[in-house]
Amino acid sequence: MPIFKYKAKTSEGNIKSGMVEASNQQLAISTLSDQGLKIIEIKQGQRSLLRFNPLNRVKPKDVVIFSRQFSVMISASIPVVQALKVLIDQTANPSLKTIVAEIADEVNGGSKLSDTLGARPKIFSEFYVNVVRAGETSGKLDEVLNYLADEMEKDYDMMHKIRGAMIYPVFVLVGLGGVGGVMVVWVVPKLTAVIAESGGELPLATRILMVVSDIAANYWWAVIIAVAGFITAFKYYGRTKTGRFQIDFLKIKMPIFGNLFQKIALVRFTRSMQTLIAGGVAIASSLKIAADVVGNSVYKDLILRTKDAVESGSSISSVFGESNHIPKMVSQMLSVGEKTGKIDVILERVTDFYSREINNLVANLVTLMEPLIMVLMGVGVGIMVAAIIMPMYNMANQF
């Protein structure tokens, strides 16, 4: 949507400048007139192209830092516009710096903070916008922003630990795949050519290795096309509702990692629900927003069914208690929270419990992955060595 820069006179006679979003100039003038402003000058501006630069994309860490700094300033009773203008200089990411400047101008022009954030869904999620809107409505924007910053930091720290724990196994597996590829394409063909010329029946492992090596060396382009086609088809299928649901279902049923994915989804649900309810958002609305935050279609479907049940007069725990994907402890704790009227406190306790469970799982996975990788490397090397050594040993016995 186009953005218009304006200079206008307020009803008190003061000169005010800012920016406003509108589909055309006439609508922009109408919007400003409704705010009691008399237009002096208005012209269409351009959004900075920095935000579309992939090198300057806004990362979750940037939003976390922005939220923490913003919450501290609002808690110190600094006006919203002034706080945003201070953050322009303190924001390191060029794209986010530009966005914060635009938000400051729009809020200064009379727009609500939540509306300006909501106009940028790629940066600020529906969850983020609704928490801010709840704070504006209740007059507790400083408290809500502090809550939001705390919870975003916890979620970021959790995902950062999980990604950090996966660096070592991924690095080793990629290295193993690279070395194996070099062996299969350049080294193995020369060895198997000598072995094949010796005549005699070759072991099954050697014949399989020769076929794989031949395909990798002579038909590498077909392998690349096949892999690219599979990845494209998988991504396309994953974008469909049925495909996304089936992939997410398989993720939570995976051996070793399935339990981790389940707990991550649960923590995202309980953490977002607790933040929204503490911010004054109604339970049904909180469930709808949390369904998009949870990041798993299986749990999203369950939460949306729970929302429908709550709107019909049922309790959250009634639907959760019937699901095999929700631990009994969670539904029982929610039941206690609903009966005592302290569901936000219960959600906080559940979040803390499963956050510790995730930390323990990640630590155990790292410990478990090391011997698994060593075994995998040993099996791979053993198969390749056997496929080459066995026929050479047979050749030596013939003399």
Residue 94, phi then psi, degrees to nearest 5: -60, -40
Residue written as tokens 């911010």? 279
CATH superfamily membership of 150-399: Type II secretion system (T2SS), domain F (1.20.81.30)
DSSP secondary structure letter of residue 3: E
pLDDT range class, residue 223, cuts 50, 70, 90: confident
**Partners of residue 20 on adjacent β-strands:** 4
- Measure Cα distances from 305 to 3, 112, 117, 153, 294 in Å: 39, 32, 28, 29, 14
- The structure tokens 């997410």 sit at 248
Give the distance, in angstroms, between the CA of residue 162 and the centroid of all CA atoms in the same chain. Answer: 12
Overall pTM surpassing 0.85 (yes/no): no
Distance in angstroms (rounded) separating the CA atoms of residues 45 and 47? 7
In degrees rounded to 5, what are phi and psi of residue 290?
Answer: -60, -30
Q: Model confidence over 97-148: pLDDT tens digits? A: 888 888 888 888 788 888 888 888 888 887 888 888 878 877 778 877 887 7
Residues listed for the chain: 399
Range 203-207 contact pairs with CB under 8 angstroms and sequence separation of 24 or more = 203/386, 203/387, 203/390, 203/391, 205/383, 205/386, 205/387, 205/390, 206/387, 206/388, 206/390, 206/391
Categorize the per-residue pLDDT at 52 as very low, low, confident or very high, splitting at 50, 70 and 90: very low
What pLDDT, in 10s, does the model give residues 22-33? 667 777 777 777
Q: Read off the pLDDT of residues 245-292 as tens digits, 9 standing for 90 and up.
A: 999 999 888 887 888 889 888 988 888 888 888 777 888 888 888 888
> Who wins on pLDDT, 200 or 205?
205
- Please report the pLDDT score of residue 200 as a whole number: 59
CA distance 96 to 79: 20
Report how far residue 73's alpha carbon sits from residue 63's, in angstroms, rounded to the nearest whole number: 15
What digits encode the pLDDT tens for the residues 32-41?
777 777 888 8
Residue 12 has pLDDT above 90, yes or no: no
Give the 3-state secondary structure of 262-315. Answer: HHHHHHHHHHHHHHHHHCCCCHHHHHHHHHHHCCCHHHHHHHHHHHHHHHCCCC
Give the Cα separation of 185 and 215 in Å (integer): 9
Structure tokens at 163: 């990604």
pLDDT band at 45 (very low <50, low <70, confident <90, very high): low
Q: What are the extents of the domains in the chain?
A: 1-46, 150-399
pLDDT of 49: 42
Mean pLDDT calculated for residue range 376-392: 77
Over residues 332-345, the mean pLDDT reads 86
Closest C-alpha to 148, from 8, 282, 275, 29: 275
Q: What does the alpha-carbon distance between residue 246 and residue 141 come to, in Å, rounded to a whole number?
A: 40
Is the CATH number of domain 1-46 3.30.750? no
φ/ψ of 21, rounded to 5, equals -95, 135
In this predicted structure, the answer to whether residue 344 has a pLDDT above a threshold of 90 is no
Per the listing, tokens 């976390």 go with: 64
Q: Is beta strand 15-21 parallel, antiparallel or unpaired with respect to 3-9?
A: antiparallel
What ranges in 76-187 are assigned the alpha helix state H? Answer: 80-90, 94-108, 113-118, 126-138, 141-182
DSSP 200: S
pLDDT at 366 over 80: no
- pLDDT, tens digit, 9 for 90 and up, residues 162-200: 787 778 778 887 887 887 777 777 877 777 777 767 665
- The pLDDT > 70 percentage for the chain reads 91
pLDDT at 1: 54
Task: Give the residue among 7, 17, 28 at the shortest CA–CA distance from 108.
Answer: 17
Residue 47 has pLDDT above 80, yes or no: no
